[in-house]
């Protein structure tokens, strides 16, 4: 698949209506599911290489409307990685301590260390999404945050944090369908929330907020990918494809054996290693 078709081009106008939420880019479900299985195994190997090299990290940002599949993407795409080197952070309503700092304070604290993968389930972008839609801060406050986020991500990139950002693009009709499935399925009732249904009233406002965030904050070093997400199988495949290609593009290598360790080992076991 040409992943360039998923990218939000930096410095250009972007409209969500131009991206179909049910697009599969001529990829069949069978092919996608087979590829995802390979990708899970490949990601495990690439994660080990990232961890061993210990020079840089990968930050995966997941954003989308309620029920777009942020949790499901993490479950299906990241199932093979070693939990010792991968952390998921879900950013919910800020605590009193977090509100006492700048909006990026809690975000920076969760950025992955060298050799690790970090996954943000929601992120710094909540401060130009929900904060904007519900007028939690004045316009002058959220309006200034786009450039602050870009500067923050640029700084991370210059310090070895490679960022990939995914907007899980789902239709309002598909969201309604998934909400109804939650209510009907006893195993998913716990996911149903009155607040989620209430937020549907702000659908257009959120779409506008997302468009501006994607348009203004898709950069060369921290690009946004708009992932058609009405089909869960395609969503998982597309996200995994981008992550695999990103890690392969780092051209990582396992570090050479430490000569001092090799000498000690030879001496300890009395054998040629």
DSSP symbols for 224-244: EEEEE-SSHHHHHHHHHHHHH
User: Residue 10: what pLDDT?
Assistant: 95
User: Residue 273: what pLDDT?
Assistant: 52
Question: Along the chain (273 residues), what's the average pLDDT of each consecutive run of 10 residues?
Answer: 93 95 97 97 97 97 97 95 95 94 98 98 97 96 98 98 98 96 86 83 97 97 97 98 97 86 74 54
Nearest Cα to Cα of residue 55 among 248, 255, 262: 255
User: Residue 84: what pLDDT?
Assistant: 92
Buried b (16+ CB within 10 A) or exposed e, 100-130: eeebeebbeebbbeebbbbbbbbbbbbbbbb
User: Residue 145: what pLDDT?
Assistant: 98
> Which CATH number does 3-269 carry?
3.40.50.300
Note whether 24 and 230 are within 8 A (CB). Answer: no
Note whether 86 and 117 are within 8 A (CB). Answer: yes
Other residues' Cβ atoms within 10 Å of the Cβ of residue 260: 8
User: Residue 257: what pLDDT?
Assistant: 76
Burial class (CB in 10 A: 0-12, 13-18, 19+), 86: buried
Note whether 80 and 39 are within 8 A (CB). Answer: no
Buried b (16+ CB within 10 A) or exposed e, 159-188: eebbbbbbbbbbbeebbeebbeebeeeeee
- Which residues sit opposite 90 in a β-bridge? 121
The pTM score is: 0.93
User: Residue 195: what pLDDT?
Assistant: 80
Angle at 245 between CA 258 and CA 20, to 5 degrees: 160
Residue 192 vs residues 80, 102, 108, 184, 207: alpha-carbon distances, Å? 28, 32, 31, 10, 22
Note whether 27 and 5 are within 8 A (CB). Answer: no
Domain boundaries, given as residue ranges, for the chain: 3-269
Helix ranges (H only) for the chain are 29-53, 70-77, 96-99, 105-109, 130-133, 139-143, 145-158, 172-184, 194-199, 203-217, 232-248, 259-269
């Amino acid at each position: 698949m040409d992943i360039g078709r998923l990218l939000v081009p930096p410095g250009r106008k972007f409209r969500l209506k131009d991206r179909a939420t049910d697009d599969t880019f001529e990829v069949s479900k069978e092919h996608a599911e087979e590829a995802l299985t390979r990708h899970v195994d490949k990601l495990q190997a690439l994660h080990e290489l990232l961890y061993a090299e210990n020079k840089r990290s990968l930050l995966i940002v997941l954003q989308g409307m309620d029920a777009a599949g942020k949790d499901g993407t993490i479950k299906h795409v990241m199932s093979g990685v070693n939990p010792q080197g991968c952390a998921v952070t879900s950013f919910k309503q800020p605590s009193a301590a977090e509100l006492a700092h700048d909006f990026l304070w809690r975000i920076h604290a969760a950025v992955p260390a060298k050799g690790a993968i970090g996954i943000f389930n929601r992120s710094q972008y909540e401060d130009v999404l929900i904060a904007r839609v519900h007028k939690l801060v004045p316009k002058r406050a959220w309006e200034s945050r786009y450039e602050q986020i870009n500067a923050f991500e640029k700084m991370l990139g210059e310090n070895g944090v490679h960022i990939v950002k995914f907007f899980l693009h789902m239709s309002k009709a598909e969201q309604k369908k998934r909400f109804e499935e939650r209510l009907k399925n006893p195993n998913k009732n716990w996911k149903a929330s009155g607040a989620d249904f209430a937020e549907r009233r702000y659908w257009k406002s959120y779409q506008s907020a997302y468009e501006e965030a994607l348009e203004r904050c898709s950069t060369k070093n921290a690009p946004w990918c708009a992932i058609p997400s009405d089909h869960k199988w395609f969503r998982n495949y597309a996200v995994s494809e981008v992550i695999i290609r990103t890690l392969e593009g780092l051209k990582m290598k396992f570090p050479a054996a430490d000569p001092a360790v090799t000498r000690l080992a030879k001496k300890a076991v009395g054998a040629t290693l």
